[in-house]
Chain A
Amino acid sequence: MAANLPNPMLPQPYRVQKMRRETPDTFTLELTPVNGSGIPPFAAGQFNMLYVYGVGEVPISISGDPDKRNCLVHTTRAVGTVTKAMRELKIHDVLGVRGPYGTHWPVMEVAGSDVVIVAGGIGLAPLRSAMYQILAHREKFGRVVLLYGARTPSDILFRRDLEQWRAHFDLEVYVTVDRATGSWRGSVGFVTQLIPKAPFDPLNTVALVCGPETMMRFTALALEKRGVKPDSIILSMERNMKCAIGLCGHCQFGPVFVCKDGPVFPYTHIRDLLAKWEI
């Protein structure tokens, strides 16, 4: 029987169907399997390993809708050799994909609660999948609030989605930037400053948080200060995943492997590790 299981280390060829520049340094890829099969099911918050042939392989969060199975959607920032090569891919180019891997946002498990999504920078990418899922089942949740922080107005990710979500009557969307010039008429300040006034019931709220670690650490503190229970705060960690199946140890984070035990963790499981710089 084991011979019939797919090799988890073997990438499957996928073709680039669409490439969209989101900001000056981030882009979204839409991929479909070369062999015409469907894409494997995934849950919001999981990631795939994307392989640019001849260059290398990197873990990238899935930013698409878990209910839409026609293509795989990934959004990432061009920061290293592989992601910079990925940004240069053209329509119909082929890259390797293996996954999905890792834990997911417990979206349906928190039905009945208010949901606060706090995203910073590129951290909105894995949370977009959760937003799609929440919106598809909107009636199952209490108040839904999205708090998003970016560096500058030109770094705001998924502008179209944010504008559409903001137009919903049953969704609160607040965006802030760290600094601004010119015509920006929105808020300026760190994303944690949105938390004290955001409209949610802290005692009945689950918070999904993704962004740079420093941002998540201070966001968790601000949520706790507002009265959100620590075990109702969920974070998504980023580490240098290599094998993605918990074998190589590259992504070890204290006693856990981010690829296998994460990337989505309850805050209470990793709280003590977040302030340790050497991990």
Chain B
Amino acid sequence: MHTLEPLLAEHPFFQGLDSRYIQLITGCASNVRFDTGQYIFHEGEEANEFYIIRHGKVALETLAPGHKPITIQTIEEGDVLGWSWLFPPYRWHFNAYAVELTRAIALDGKCLRTKCEEDHDLGYEFLKRFANVVEQRLQATRLQLLDVYNVRT
């Protein structure tokens, strides 16, 4: 029987993770696909999963009154989508939709939170990996905020 285990093991996010943990995580994983324009989640909704993007592109967007939705970041093949499942109050902070046909593996956040509580070594592995993602996105966001291409005259 085919399982998602090899797909998870080869994804950059899980690189180097002990195979017993990959096996454990596979129990919380499901294969998903999103068509172009399909929303994956909306701001304020409960965040109970995250996504390992295998193929395609997802836009994170936010809304400002009187403006069209603003895309603030795209998440692509090899990236991870969503960390709100990891921190209370477990709500999405942005909308996410597929810019193009996107194939991903969805991981059940509730299931993983339970496993992380039961095995703190696994929890530490997760936190290290997500901290790395958060750090990279924070640095990139700071540079976006600097608006370096805007010439001030």
Interface residues of A (CB under 8 A from B): 25, 77, 79-80, 120-122, 149-151, 155, 176, 178-182, 184-190, 192-193, 197, 211-212, 214-215, 218
In the bound complex, do residue A185 and residue B99 qualify as a contact, i.e. CB atoms below 8 Å apart?
yes
Give 1 or 0 for each of B125-153: 1 = CB within 8 Å of chain A CB: 00000000000100110011011111101
Partner of A179, one of B70, B78, B151: B70
Is residue B67 within 8 Å, beta carbon to beta carbon, of the partner chain?
yes
Give 1 or 0 for each of B22-58: 1 = CB within 8 Å of chain A CB: 0000000000000000000000000000000000010
In the bound complex, do residue A178 and residue B149 qualify as a contact, i.e. CB atoms below 8 Å apart?
yes
* A214-B143, A215-B143 as given contacts; A181 in contact with B69, CB under 8 Å: yes
* A179-B72, A181-B71, A187-B57 as given contacts; A192 in contact with B149, CB under 8 Å: no
Partner of A182, one of B68, B78, B147, B149: B68
* A178-B144, A193-B140, A218-B143 as given contacts; A188 in contact with B149, CB under 8 Å: no
A178 to B149, CA, bound (A): 9
A39 to B37, CA, bound (A): 51
**Could you say which residues of chain B place their CB within 8 Å of the CB of A212?**
148-149
Category for how many chain B residues contact A: 20 to 34
B13 CB, min distance to chain A CBs, angstroms: 13
A252 to B50, CA, bound (A): 51
**Could you say which residues of chain A place their CB within 8 Å of the CB of B144?**
178-179, 189-190
* A182-B68, A189-B73, A190-B143 as given contacts; A120 in contact with B148, CB under 8 Å: yes
Is residue B59 within 8 Å, beta carbon to beta carbon, of the partner chain?
yes
**Could you say which residues of chain B place their CB within 8 Å of the CB of A193?**
136, 140
In the bound complex, do residue A192 and residue B153 qualify as a contact, i.e. CB atoms below 8 Å apart?
no
Partner of A187, one of B76, B146, B147, B149: B76
In the bound complex, do residue B71 and residue A184 qualify as a contact, i.e. CB atoms below 8 Å apart?
yes
In the bound complex, do residue A214 and residue B70 qualify as a contact, i.e. CB atoms below 8 Å apart?
no
A243 CB, min distance to chain B CBs, angstroms: 24
* A79-B153, A214-B143 as given contacts; A188 in contact with B148, CB under 8 Å: no
**Could you say which residues of chain A place their CB within 8 Å of the CB of B99?**
185
**Could you say which residues of chain A place their CB within 8 Å of the CB of B139?**
192, 218
Is residue B84 within 8 Å, beta carbon to beta carbon, of the partner chain?
no
In the bound complex, do residue A192 and residue B71 qualify as a contact, i.e. CB atoms below 8 Å apart?
no
A109 CB, min distance to chain B CBs, angstroms: 29
**Could you say which residues of chain B place their CB within 8 Å of the CB of A25?**
151
| Closest A-B pairs by Cβ, 3 of them | A121-B149, A151-B149, A212-B148
**Could you say which residues of chain A place their CB within 8 Å of the CB of B143?**
190, 192, 214-215, 218
A190 to B142, CA, bound (A): 9
Give 1 or 0 for each of B56-95: 1 = CB within 8 Å of chain A CB: 0101000000011111111010100000000000000000
Is residue B100 within 8 Å, beta carbon to beta carbon, of the partner chain?
yes
A39 CB, min distance to chain B CBs, angstroms: 28
**Could you say which residues of chain B place their CB within 8 Å of the CB of A176?**
74
A53 to B100, CA, bound (A): 51
**Could you say which residues of chain A place their CB within 8 Å of the CB of B153?**
79-80
A182 to B70, CA, bound (A): 8
**Could you say which residues of chain A place their CB within 8 Å of the CB of B78?**
197
B67 CB, min distance to chain A CBs, angstroms: 7
Partner of A79, one of B72, B140, B151: B151
For residue A212, which residue of chain B has the nearest CB? B148
Complex A-B: 18 CB contacts under 8 Å:
A79-B151, A79-B153, A120-B148, A155-B149, A178-B144, A179-B70, A181-B71, A182-B68, A185-B100, A187-B74, A188-B71, A188-B72, A189-B74, A189-B144, A197-B78, A211-B149, A214-B148, A215-B148
